[in-house]
Amino acid sequence: MRKILLATTALVALAGAAQAAESPIQVTLGGSVDFRAALFQESEKVLADRRSSDFQTEYDLTIAAEGKAANGITYGALINLDNDQIRSAGQEVVMDQAYVWMAGSFGKALLGDTHSAAELFVYAPTVGEGQIDGSYTNFTDATTLAPFQPIYIDNLEDNTKVTYYTPKVGNANHKVQLGVSYALNDEQGTTVSLYDGADGYKNMVTAAAQYTGTFSPVSVVVTPMMATGEGEGDKNVAGNRDYTVWGLGAQAMYAGFTVGGSYVDAGHLNTTSAQTDDQNVWNAGLKYEFDKVAMAANYMSGEGYYPLSGTTQYVKDFDAIGLGATYTWFPGLTTAADAVFFDQDVAGATPSNEGHVLMLSQKMSF
């Protein structure tokens, strides 16, 4: 780290007298390694010899650079790499986020592959591996179980976009912050969309607001959110239809307890013109933290269109109950226990899919 800082300082010094008043760019390195051991079961199986246990390791590496100009404006860049199986084959290292940013009294602007303004949205509180919003789906079959999320859309989507957050405006007890993201299309990284008409979405906008208030001894957070996208290509193909998603989330905190939940209406997201049934998800949960221990219980229910068994099907009822606990041994070192029990009913003759994922994990963050 010392060598990095010295080298960076030297480069800044060589930039000339115009930069003499600027502070040197600070480069930091961080990340995490998460080992998981899980027992899992689903009543619906593609193959008869479905396993019931396995290990998994997930890791990420973040490189961040930050500087401060003489006029008080801060600026920087961030690169995050991981082996998340959603984006990679499990052993490959892929880019999660990569963006540049600038912040000051005007707010904060981010340019690049980053999460959208939906980051402001809150829902049922979780701990550790995240229960209903966590990594339990790494141990379920995507062809038989729909990957519902508390926000329905993926608030961790990382297509190339521009995002802006206003400053937090208000007084000591009441503040409001707004955020908006715009993506020309759903591509990421160096991939460029050269023609209109291809399958997918363009002109994707996500807007969210977050109100934080203190009504001693209770604190609250309220977050409305809306996302829209313009579909391209044949509207009879899933993922090409215009959509509008909206939602409302809230949490309240008191004496170590956090209670909260959200509702999201997903509209026509990822549907064809012939798919007209409702798509939504709601959730609620409770968390308690004391000393080195945190515990949470949460529930999620939803309905919507998902690709299952090689074709898009309508999940008319999805329910999941999550229980979790963590113990922090030392700064950065945490043991977590996670349990999710789910029940899914699909329209038609497909049988219901019931099951669970029980997980123990050891995570080191640095």
The greatest distance separating any two alpha carbons of the chain, rounded to the nearest whole angstrom, comes to 74
- Distance between CA atoms of residues 273 and 242, nearest Å: 10
Residue 5: per-residue pLDDT: 39
Predicted TM-score of the model (pTM): 0.90
The pLDDT value given to residue 37 = 98
Show the low-confidence residues of the chain (pLDDT under 50): 1-20
**Do residues 135 and 115 touch, judged by C-beta distance below 8 A?**
no
Q: What is the DSSP string of 12-63?
A: HHHT-GGGTTSPPPEEEEEEEEEEEEEEEEESS-SSTT---EEEEEEEEEEE
Contact criterion met (CB below 8 Å) for 79 and 97: yes
Instruction: Check residue 149 and report its DSSP letter.
Output: -
Name the token pair of 38. Answer: 């899980």
Span 169-194, pLDDT tens digits: 999 999 999 999 999 988 888 888 88
- The pLDDT of residue 242: 93
Q: Which CATH number fits domain 2-365: 2.40.160.10, 1.10.10.60, 3.20.20.100, 3.20.20.140?
A: 2.40.160.10
Radius of gyration of the chain (CA): 22
Question: What's residue 149's pLDDT?
Answer: 94
pLDDT of residue 186: 86
